[in-house]
């Protein structure tokens, strides 16, 4: 007669709270994971707000520091090439203003809906990455491929005249905020940033001269003409933007998911 087998009862395994180094492992820990504030926080991964075709968008794109400064002639030429690729090919997506800073780009964009915004920015980023990598490879005599963005883009909808006015001043005068306006390469005797679309902005307080004396070989960035009421007509209802204005810090509106 076979003897009955002894049933095994599963018991809880008690693990030590601390490892051999006296540290806790696993679970939520203070200061662990992605930074939530500060310069290296990156764009939020919360759900993006719906895009209204009547509201321009302020877009920020951050670029890897491996490429070096964007405010170089070869990097600027690469961005111009990407702009020309997008210009006119996406009727429902328009980059109407922009500026290049050393590690990021600011764009003022108009789009019909969320899909048009995402697709247009994707096309611009792919073209810009290809051209920036090529410029870097020529300068360093090596081959670089792959991503150039360090994070997903940040988008802020501009729903009022004041928001549009302040965002435009922030974008096209951003070089003054970063104190890049004391360099030798400027436009109109130090009034405009050559790495921004200030020449395409026709609502300057000082006005643009009829005849522009541009540096030899310089090409302004190609941008689309704005169609939104807030840019074309709304700016006339608020304080005009001066070429010498130094923009303050942007107060980014948070949107719940």
Asked whether residue 138 is domain-assigned, the answer is yes
Asked whether residue 49 is domain-assigned, the answer is no
Asked whether residue 112 is domain-assigned, the answer is yes
| pLDDT for the residue 20 | 64
Asked whether residue 220 is domain-assigned, the answer is yes
Give me the number of domains the chain comprises.
1
Mean pLDDT of the chain, nearest integer: 86
Token reading at 104: 């990021």
In Å, what is the CA distance from 189 to each residue of 132, 149, 186, 192, 205? 29, 33, 6, 8, 16
Model confidence band, residue 79 (pLDDT cutoffs 50, 70, 90): very high
Bridge partners (DSSP) listed for residue 109 = 57, 95
Asked whether residue 169 is domain-assigned, the answer is yes
Q: What is the pLDDT of residues 132-156, one digit of tens each?
A: 999 999 999 999 999 999 888 999 9
Q: Report the C-alpha gap between 249 and 170 in whole angstroms.
A: 8
Asked whether residue 113 is domain-assigned, the answer is yes
Asked whether residue 7 is domain-assigned, the answer is no
% of the chain residues with pLDDT over 70: 78
Residue 98: which CATH number?
3.30.70.1290
| Residue-number span of the structural domain to which 229 is assigned | 57-237
Low-confidence winner among 69-73, 158-162, 252-256 (lowest mean pLDDT): 252-256
| pLDDT for the residue 91 | 82
Asked whether residue 48 is domain-assigned, the answer is no
Token reading at 25: 């492992």
% of the chain residues with pLDDT over 90: 69
């Amino acid at each position: 007669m076979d003897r009955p087998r002894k049933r095994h009862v599963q018991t809880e395994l008690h693990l030590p709270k601390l490892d051999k180094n006296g540290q806790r492992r696993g679970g939520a820990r203070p200061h662990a994971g992605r930074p939530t504030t500060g310069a290296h926080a990156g764009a939020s991964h919360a759900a993006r707000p719906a895009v209204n075709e009547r509201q321009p968008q302020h877009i920020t794109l951050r670029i890897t520091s491996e490429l070096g400064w964007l405010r170089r002639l070869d990097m600027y030429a690469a961005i111009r090439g990407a702009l020309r690729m997008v210009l006119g090919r996406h009727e429902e997506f328009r980059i109407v203003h922009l500026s290049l800073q050393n590690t990021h780009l600011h764009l003022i964009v108009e789009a019909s809906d969320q899909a048009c915004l995402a697709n247009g920015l994707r096309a611009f980023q792919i073209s810009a990455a290809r051209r920036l990598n090529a410029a870097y490879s020529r300068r360093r005599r090596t081959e670089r491929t792959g991503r150039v963005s360090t994070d997903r883009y940040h988008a802020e909808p501009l729903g009022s005249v004041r928001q549009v006015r302040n965002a435009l001043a922030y974008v096209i005068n951003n070089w003054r905020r970063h104190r890049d306006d004391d360099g030798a390469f400027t436009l109109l005797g130090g009034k405009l940033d050559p790495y921004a679309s200030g020449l395409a902005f026709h609502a300057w307080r000082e006005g643009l001269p009829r005849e522009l004396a541009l540096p030899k070989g310089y090409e302004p960035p190609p941008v689309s003409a704005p169609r939104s009421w807030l840019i074309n007509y709304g700016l006339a209802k608020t304080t005009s933007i001066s070429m010498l204005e130094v923009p303050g810090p942007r107060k980014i509106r948070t949107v719940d998911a």
